[in-house]
């Protein structure tokens, strides 16, 4: 398998790092020359990673091609390229629809969208794929959890979840700051918050039959301090505001 990347930026670096950090990774990787520093860094760190002379040279030397340029330049970059019918095209460009990519990558017949997260670098995925594709599920499965969906509308809705990371860290930051303001040493507060939320993150896996509503109820002991925080934040409209905010992101992803 020869994997080519058009656009050698943060996400390409994460995928290549995740794949090539594993022993006996058989895929040969061909990178487009931009960004030169990132490409040179990957070539120096890993075996069987090369930089092509240009974008077309990547296509000419690979069977599977990942499109990893920013959406703003995608049309201009792809319009210049000659794809083959047998190219397996995997678009990572979040805001370009599957139909748009298929038109730009014609006559390639196998065109899918994938949405990996930068955590694939440490093989902690997850990656969404649409439509389902066994060979890409196997490849991204080496980098973490894979979620395959048939319906592009489902893919777009799931993409909204990826807009919540910064707010999640702001939530932890608020807690961390409060602990420090109340006399807890910086490192102690950080360690404790990190360990707590790591353990909470594994709760859905350890209780697979419980949905999130029931997990929230389970942790909100009647009359307890968890119930208090949940009740007060709910009364302030925090969760309603969050849901409205997700609607706004969804509209943006759909181009509205």
Ligand X SMILES: NC(=O)c1ccc[n+]([C@@H]2O[C@H](COP(=O)([O-])OP(=O)(O)OC[C@H]3O[C@@H](n4cnc5c(N)ncnc54)[C@H](OP(=O)(O)O)[C@@H]3O)[C@@H](O)[C@H]2O)c1
List residues near ligand X by CB under 6 A: 6-12, 32, 34-35, 38, 55, 68-71, 73, 77, 92-94, 115, 118
- Does residue 193 have a known ligand-binding role? no
189 marked among binding-site residues: no
Q: Which residues contact 91 (CB under 8 A, 6 or more apart)?
A: 66, 67, 98, 101, 105, 111, 112, 113, 114
First to last CA, the chain: 39
Question: Is 55 annotated in some ligand binding site?
Answer: yes
Residue placing its CB nearer to ligand X in the complex, 68 or 160: 68
Q: How many CB atoms lie within 10 A of CB 33?
A: 15
Q: For ligand X, which residue has the nearest CB?
A: 9
d(CA 236, CA 14): 39
CB of residue 5 to ligand X, shortest distance in Å: 9
CB-nearer residue toward ligand X: 7 or 144: 7
Least separation in angstroms between CB 63 and ligand X: 19
Backbone angles phi and psi of 3, in degrees to 5:
-100, 125
Q: Which is nearer to ligand X, 6 or 104 (CB)?
A: 6
User: Which of residues 20 and 190 has its CB atom nearest to ligand X in the complex?
Assistant: 20
Is residue 105 within 8 A of residue 85, CB to CB? The reply is no
Is 54 annotated as belonging to a binding site? no
User: Is 102 labeled as ligand-binding?
Assistant: no
- Name the burial class of residue 59, with classes exposed (0-12), middle (13-18) and buried (19+) by CB atoms within 10 angstroms of its CB: buried
Binding-site residue ranges for NADP(+) = 6-11, 68-71
């Amino acid at each position: 398998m020869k994997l080519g990347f058009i656009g050698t930026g943060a996400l390409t670096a994460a995928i290549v790092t995740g794949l090539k950090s594993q022993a006996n990774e058989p895929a040969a990787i061909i990178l487009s020359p931009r960004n030169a520093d990132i490409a040179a860094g990957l070539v120096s760190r890993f075996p069987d990673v090369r930089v092509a002379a240009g974008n077309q040279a990547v296509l000419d030397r690979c069977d599977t091609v990942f499109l990893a340029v920013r959406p703003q330049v995608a049309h201009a970059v792809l319009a210049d390229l000659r794809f083959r019918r047998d190219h397996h095209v995997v678009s990572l460009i979040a805001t370009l629809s599957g139909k748009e990519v298929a038109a730009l990558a014609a006559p390639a017949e196998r065109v899918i969208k994938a949405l990996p997260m930068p955590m694939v670098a440490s093989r902690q995925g997850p990656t969404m794929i649409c439509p389902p594709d066994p060979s890409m599920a196997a490849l991204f499965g080496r980098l973490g959890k894979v979620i395959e969906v048939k319906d592009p509308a489902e893919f777009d809705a799931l993409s909204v979840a990826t807009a919540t990371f910064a707010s999640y860290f702001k939530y932890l930051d608020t807690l961390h700051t409060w602990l420090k303001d109340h006399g807890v040493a910086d490192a102690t507060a950080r360690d404790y918050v990190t360990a707590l939320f790591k353990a909470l993150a594994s709760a859905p896996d350890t209780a697979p039959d419980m949905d999130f509503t029931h997990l929230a109820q389970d942790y909100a002991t009647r009359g307890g301090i968890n119930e208090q925080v949940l009740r007060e934040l709910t009364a302030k409209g925090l969760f309603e505001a969050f849901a409205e905010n997700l609607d706004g992101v969804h509209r943006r992803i759909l181009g509205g």
